[in-house]
Structure 1
Amino acid sequence: MRYKLTGIIIMIILMFIAACSSQEGSANYESSGDKAQNVDQEAGTTAEQSSSAADDAANEESETATDGANEPSSERMVIYTGRLAIHVPDYDEAQNQITDKIENTGGYIVESTTREIEDNRRSGHISARIPQAEFTNFMNHLDSKNVKIVEKSTQGEDVTEEYVDLESRLTSKEAVEERLLTFLDEAEDTEAALQVSNDLAQVQEEIEQIKGRMQYLENHSAYATVTVNIEERRINIPDIENEESLNTIERTQQLFMNTINALMQFGSYLVVFVAGMSPISIPLLIIGVIIWLRQRKKKQSSES
């Protein structure tokens, strides 16, 4: 009986050990499967990150541009343009005064033209860039006793939003440029490097265009453009000679010369008239002579 009880206890112990070993193997198997699954997921994630790098760059550019556009600007950028039309008695004097005033404000002349008009008068225009701080003063204090302003206009264009948008685009494009440079260094074959180089060249070209537009806005908002049209308006007063101060000989000579000039002018008009009417007057004269000769011949025949 004792041996049977001992055998039963040993069998129960062996069965318990076998059950524990089975559970441990199952647990180890499940742990190994989980590890493999995690490795596969990590590999898939890495591949997805590598394939979507360009998309991330584009999204980053879009988000940066949107955030930059929503940021308020503390200083407004305005491009001012002014136009003046003036009448002056002396063109050279007015041109020199305007040139000196432009230089005193710290501006510079872009274009200057002069042309002759009727009565030996001149007109022209001066196109200049004036610092924005001096623009209003220049437009309001050009009038003087020798300068008459006949037209004045001022125009302003607010380019603040455009400049802020350009700043945001520049930041995002530079971020894309840095990422493409990284991709170019990590390219494993020639085809991939060529593709990245083409994308990089396009991005760099866009960066240069954005910088050029920003420089244009900065310059034109810092310096206003002013165009001054100048027209000379002189009043010619003829010299009035005092005839009482002339002696008899001078008055006689003056009358003689006036008479000669009048006769010469009349003779010139007469020659022009005769020469101009010759296609008609000469045939009429010939016909008249023929008729007169026939009438005279008839008269002589009747008298004889």
Structure 2
Amino acid sequence: MEEVQKGVRGVKGVKILAAMMIIFTLIVASGCSAASNENSKSNSSADLATTSKAEGSVASESKADSKSNTATESPEAAAGASFGASETDPSIADDAGMNRKLIYRSNVAMQVDDYAKAQTLLKNIIHLSGGYLLKFDDKKTSAELGGTYTIKVPSSGFDSFLTALEKLKGSSYESSIEGTDVTEEYVDLESRMKARQVVEARLLSFMEKAVKTDELLKISNELGDVQTEIERIKGRMRYLDKNVAYSTIELRMYQQTVTEVPVVKEEKTGFLQSLQNALSGSANVVYAFIQGVFIFIAGALPVLLLLVVIGIPVYWAYRSNRRGKSNIASKVQVDEKIAEREAQDSAEPTPPTDDDKL
């Protein structure tokens, strides 16, 4: 019996030991899974930090390169970016081997003898140069015929186009040329685009590994902002490339339709000639005055006739009315005087006569 009890005790001990081993194994497994999750999160945050650091380093390197290129540019390299180099290629290689980006612009004003003919020749020159007309404003007045043109021509034929314009028949020709160096801006845009493309690739890889919805939304928003900035940079680079490839010419071409009156120089005259000029001037003034009086009378004659036709009857009616009133007034006055005299006579006593005394 004792041996059986010992055997039962041994079996129970083995079961207890096996249960303890199973519990320990579960604890170790749960700890390893939690550590792996933490490691994955830390790795993702480290990747994001590495990406931002890479972007900053690329941008700083691009700025440093552009500044060093600007600082090491020699006067000879700046002189090489003049107008004469535009005949071959607007992107000029300097001593450091970097292609320079130059945008040329010219303003031309020219007066021609025949505007219609010059306009036809201008269209032919634009067609032969491979350019195109971007804008046109026509102007026609009593003093001149002309127009304003905005022309885009290939930079390789910029100088030859201006030479062809100068050969057009005209009385005056004025031109000015301006060049803009956009190399530094273009290099900066390239560096920014490369940095943004690195960030875009990182975000795309994170999106493939992400499982949670909030993480996907966050990465998607950041990816949209990065792609929008990349497209903006590409658009600016395309704009610069187009303006470097095609130069702009602002042309004003006109023809004067009113001829200038030649100025006659006054010659010195003698005493007799001055006296004769004074007499002729006075005679001209008197003649002009008499002529003006007759012209005034001739012009006012119809009005005067109308006034006479209307005024004479009115005047006679006025005179007759006035005469009638004056006659009546004089008659009244006579009557009044007679009445007064009669009143006086009646008031005074008559002296007695001789017959009355007898």
TM-score range, shorter chain: 0.5 to 0.7
In structure 2, relative to structure 1, the CA distance for the partners of 1:190 and 1:43 (3 Å cut) is closer
Give the secondary structure class of the aligned counterpart of 2:100: coil
Residue in structure 1 matched with residue 340 of structure 2 by the alignment: none
Where does structure 2 lack aligned partners over 5 or more consecutive residues?
1-33, 70-96, 261-294, 327-358
Q: CA deviation at 1:130?
A: 1.2
Taking the TM superposition and a 5 Å limit, the aligned residue runs for 1:243-282 are none
The one-letter code sitting in structure 2 at the alignment partner of 1:162 is E
Deviations 1:250-301 (A, max 9, x none): xxxxxxxxxxxxxxxx9xx959x97xxxxxx99xx98897557535765899
Where does structure 1 lack aligned partners over 5 or more consecutive residues?
1-39, 238-265, 275-280
Taking the TM superposition and a 5 Å limit, the aligned residue runs for 1:165-176 are 165-176=188-199
Residue in structure 2 matched with residue 277 of structure 1 by the alignment: none
- 1:86 & 1:99 partners in 2: Cα distance? 16
Contact 1:127 1:225 in 2 (8 A): yes
- 1:141 & 1:123 partners in 2: Cα distance? 19
- 1:47 & 1:201 partners in 2: Cα distance? 23
- 2:54 & 2:132 partners in 1: Cα distance? 43
- 1:43 & 1:145 partners in 2: Cα distance? 80
Taking the TM superposition and a 5 Å limit, the aligned residue runs for 1:140-159 are 140-144=163-167, 146-159=169-182
- 1:46 & 1:52 partners in 2: Cα distance? 10
Taking the TM superposition and a 5 Å limit, the aligned residue runs for 1:3-14 are none
The one-letter code sitting in structure 1 at the alignment partner of 2:246 is Y
Residue in structure 2 matched with residue 56 of structure 1 by the alignment: 50
Give the secondary structure class of the aligned counterpart of 2:167: coil
Please, which of 60, 66, 81 is the counterpart of residue 66 of structure 1? 60
Residue in structure 1 matched with residue 150 of structure 2 by the alignment: 127
In structure 2, relative to structure 1, the CA distance for the partners of 1:138 and 1:270 (3 Å cut) is farther
Deviations 1:94-114 (A, max 9, x none): 111112112222211112232
2:247 corresponds to 1:224: yes
Contact 1:143 1:149 in 2 (8 A): no
Give the secondary structure class of the aligned counterpart of 1:193: helix
Contact 1:125 1:230 in 2 (8 A): yes
Aligned-residue RMSD, C-alpha: 3.8
Please, which of 125, 129, 134 is the counterpart of residue 105 of structure 1? 129
Residue in structure 1 matched with residue 103 of structure 2 by the alignment: 79
The one-letter code sitting in structure 2 at the alignment partner of 1:106 is G
Contact 2:142 2:258 in 1 (8 A): no
In structure 2, relative to structure 1, the CA distance for the partners of 1:288 and 1:202 (3 Å cut) is farther
Residue in structure 2 matched with residue 184 of structure 1 by the alignment: 207
- 1:270 & 1:214 partners in 2: Cα distance? 79
Over the matched positions of the two proteins, sequence identity in percent amounts to 30
Residue in structure 2 matched with residue 15 of structure 1 by the alignment: none
Residue in structure 2 matched with residue 209 of structure 1 by the alignment: 232
Give the secondary structure class of the aligned counterpart of 1:52: helix
Q: CA deviation at 1:87?
A: 1.3
Bigger shift: 84-93 or 195-204?
Answer: 84-93
The one-letter code sitting in structure 1 at the alignment partner of 2:119 is Q
Residue in structure 2 matched with residue 92 of structure 1 by the alignment: 116
The one-letter code sitting in structure 1 at the alignment partner of 2:100 is R
Q: CA deviation at 1:185?
A: 0.1
- 1:148 & 1:61 partners in 2: Cα distance? 59
The one-letter code sitting in structure 1 at the alignment partner of 2:60 is T
Give the secondary structure class of the aligned counterpart of 1:188: coil
In structure 2, relative to structure 1, the CA distance for the partners of 1:148 and 1:234 (3 Å cut) is same
The one-letter code sitting in structure 1 at the alignment partner of 2:159 is T
In structure 2, relative to structure 1, the CA distance for the partners of 1:52 and 1:93 (3 Å cut) is same
Q: CA deviation at 1:236?
A: 6.7
Residue in structure 1 matched with residue 13 of structure 2 by the alignment: none
Give the secondary structure class of the aligned counterpart of 2:125: helix
- 1:102 & 1:161 partners in 2: Cα distance? 31
In structure 2, relative to structure 1, the CA distance for the partners of 1:180 and 1:145 (3 Å cut) is closer
Deviations 1:173-214 (A, max 9, x none): 000000000000000111111110111111001000000000
Please, which of 315, 318, 340 is the counterpart of residue 294 of structure 1? 318
In structure 2, relative to structure 1, the CA distance for the partners of 1:55 and 1:87 (3 Å cut) is same
